[in-house]
């Protein structure tokens, strides 16, 4: 029988009596603490016997109890983490390690199923309606466990991953660890995942991205966030959002660590009808070269750099990022992309009109309804039980996903329409293929290996304020299904992350954009961890 929530909380409270762990000051990580370094440094330290996965996992859980609680970043912690870490140490001693993530503490987002824990969706009403522990892991968590990763638990997010501010009705407003005043947003919806890695509670975390939910908190908390190629990561066992936009990927302090997480969770699986079906090769996601930018032609999409609306500090950070790319050996010049944030919606609509097709709509209600039924079918015993669960949770879910019909009774007929059969969704997919083909042709003609532009042209606003009225590229990336890596480009005078650089490729270019982003990171060294309060 899985532990009760009270038992889990009791075990976490017991961590308070653990002695504070001290690690050798000579280690490559900044202050000798492995959680503040890279996965490679951590694993090297384990192999040398400088620390164990069990000790570092206990240290990570202690940070969750202190910093995680301070920043409201944690949804739940897993009671199995320490036992899993001890098992990883045993594998290391016997020479049976499962790969580079074996023994590495990571997190998943609150909308992911994890066996033995309830799935709250970061929503108070959902947590009340579905208090029981689920009996399965999501596919991504399953894949992480298979390679030996220590899944510490789940991070807080916006309710049902819907907004971009880190506001959860279940656990409260997630705070930005760079802002001691607690007034600036961490972004969202993958807020807790970004904060957990920024603060060194874990090396990496799973997040989701329909319109920026990984990239927004990556920029606002100054970490790496990735939106992979659409369909590269199957989404089974996760509360659904918009099936034709939803893309799952990693957040981490370092690009190489994000690449390791992506390599573990990517690859085909028939349980997600929109996932890619071709073979997946993990090899290109390891062993990046620091000189990967040398001689590479990067296209600077000036339509995505709204200089007239950017502050002087944001412009300085952006111009410095471009200079860093050049210093790393890249050729960076203007690229007139045929489809940009200004015209991509019109391009999709025009493509459909030329085919005589239905109007494309990635937020058509039928695919989301079908995905919600599919989700519950995976965690219940029968379709009838799944339909009853959808009915029970429908008002809470629909209060955010209001493109759905107003009542369950009106939605019921949509549940059984396969998401691949929805006319608006199918038209959207056809338009995506045609629009991306025009972009690919332009990039190939210009000899451009990847595009670059700011992830967003402004830094974290106050949580209570509206965002600046400036268009961003966030939706553009999701509509076209492009792989995008968002990398820290430096800090502002206010002590907050100033900007992130996005390196963006064509679908399937995930390993390439990661390699280029890693080379930029290694050249610029702009990452700066938030100051940890003295205790």
DSSP string, 81-104: HHHHHHHHHHHHHHT---STTTT-
Rounded to the nearest integer, the mean pLDDT of the chain is: 94
Burial 202-230 (b: 16+ CB within 10 A, else e): bbbbbbbbbbbbbbbbbbbbbbbbbbbbb
Q: Which of the pair, 2 or 530, is modelled with greater confidence? A: 530
Residue 398 near residue 404 (C-beta atoms within 8 A): yes
Match domain 297-354+425-524 to its CATH number in 3.40.50.1970, 2.60.40.10, 3.90.1300.10, 1.25.40.10. Answer: 3.90.1300.10
The contacts of residue 180 (CB under 8 Å, 6+ apart) are 531, 533
Q: What is the set of active-site residues?
A: 109, 189, 213
What number of H helices and E strands is found in the chain? 18, 13
CATH 3.90.1300.10-classified regions of the chain: 5-275, 297-354+425-524
What is the per-residue pLDDT across 43-88, written as a single tens digit (0 to 9) for each? 999 999 999 999 999 999 999 999 999 999 999 999 999 999 999 9
What is the per-residue pLDDT across 105-142, written as a single tens digit (0 to 9) for each? 999 999 999 999 999 999 999 999 999 999 999 999 99
| DSSP helix/strand/coil, 351 | helix
Closest CA to 212 of 473, 510, 469, 461: 473
Task: Give Cα separations from 140 to 147, 205, 210, 257 (angstroms).
Answer: 11, 11, 17, 16
**Confidence class for position 532, pLDDT limits 50, 70, 90:** confident
Match domain 5-275 to its CATH number in 3.90.1300.10, 3.40.50.970, 3.30.750.24, 3.20.20.100. Answer: 3.90.1300.10
Residue 276 near residue 229 (C-beta atoms within 8 A): yes
pLDDT at 186 over 80: yes
What is the per-residue pLDDT across 313-347, written as a single tens digit (0 to 9) for each? 999 999 999 999 999 999 999 999 999 999 999 99
pTM for the full predicted model: 0.94
């Amino acid at each position: 029988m899985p532990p009760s929530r009270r038992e889990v909380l009791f075990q976490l409270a017991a961590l308070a009596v653990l002695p504070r762990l001290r690690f050798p000051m000579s280690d490559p990580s900044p202050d000798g603490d492995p959680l503040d370094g890279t996965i490679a440094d951590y694993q090297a330290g384990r192999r040398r016997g400088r620390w164990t996965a069990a000790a570092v996992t206990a240290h990570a859980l202690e940070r969750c109890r202190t910093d995680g609680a301070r920043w409201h970043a944690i949804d739940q912690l897993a009671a199995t983490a320490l036992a899993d870490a001890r098992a990883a140490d045993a594998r290391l001693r016997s020479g049976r390690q499962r790969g580079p993530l074996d023994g590495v503490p990571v997190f998943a987002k609150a909308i992911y199923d994890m066996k033995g824990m309830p799935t709250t969706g970061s929503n108070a009403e959902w947590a009340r309606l579905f208090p029981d522990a689920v009996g399965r892991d999501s596919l991504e968590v399953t894949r992480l466990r298979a390679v030996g990763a220590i899944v510490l638990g789940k991070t807080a997010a916006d309710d049902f991953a819907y907004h971009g501010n880190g506001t959860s009705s279940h656990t409260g407003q997630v705070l930005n660890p760079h802002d001691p005043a607690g007034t600036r947003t961490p972004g969202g919806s993958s807020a807790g995942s970004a904060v957990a890695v920024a603060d060194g509670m874990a090396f990496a975390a799973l997040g989701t991205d329909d319109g920026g939910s990984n990239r927004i908190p990556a920029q606002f908390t100054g970490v790496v966030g990735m939106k992979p190629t659409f369909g590269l990561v199957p989404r089974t066992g996760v509360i659904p959002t918009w099936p034709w936009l939803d893309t799952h990927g990693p957040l981490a302090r370092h690009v190489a660590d994000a690449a390791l997480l992506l390599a573990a969770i990517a690859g085909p699986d028939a349980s997600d009808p929109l996932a890619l079906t071709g073979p997946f090769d993990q090899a290109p996601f390891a062993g990046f070269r620091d000189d990967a930018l040398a001689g590479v032609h990067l296209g600077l999409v000036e339509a995505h750099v709204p200089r007239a609306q950017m502050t002087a500090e944001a412009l300085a950070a952006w111009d410095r990022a471009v200079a860093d790319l050049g210093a790393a050996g890249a050729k960076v010049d203007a690229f007139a992309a045929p489809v940009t944030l200004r015209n991509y919606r019109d391009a999709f609509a025009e493509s459909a009109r030329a085919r005589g097709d239905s109007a494309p709509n990635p937020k058509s209600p039928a695919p989301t309804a079908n995905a919600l039924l599919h989700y519950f079918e995976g965690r219940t015993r029968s379709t009838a039980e799944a339909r009853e669960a959808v009915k029970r949770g429908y008002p809470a879910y629909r209060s955010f996903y209001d493109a759905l019909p107003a009542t369950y009774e009106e939605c019921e007929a949509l549940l059984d329409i396969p998401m691949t059969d929805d006319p608006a969704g199918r038209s959207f997919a056809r338009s995506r293929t045609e629009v991306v083909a025009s972009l690919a042709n332009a990039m190939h003609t210009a000899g451009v290996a990847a595009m670059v532009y700011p992830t967003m042209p402004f830094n974290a606003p106050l949580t209570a304020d509206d965002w600046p009225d400036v268009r961003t590229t966030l939706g553009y990336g999701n509509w076209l299904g492009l792989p995008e890596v968002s990398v820290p480009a430096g800090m502002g005078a206010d002590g907050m992350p100033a900007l992130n650089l996005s390196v963006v490729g064509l679908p399937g270019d995930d390993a390439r954009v990661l390699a280029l982003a890693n080379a930029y990171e290694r050249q610029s060294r702009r990452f700066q961890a938030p100051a940890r309060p003295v205790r």
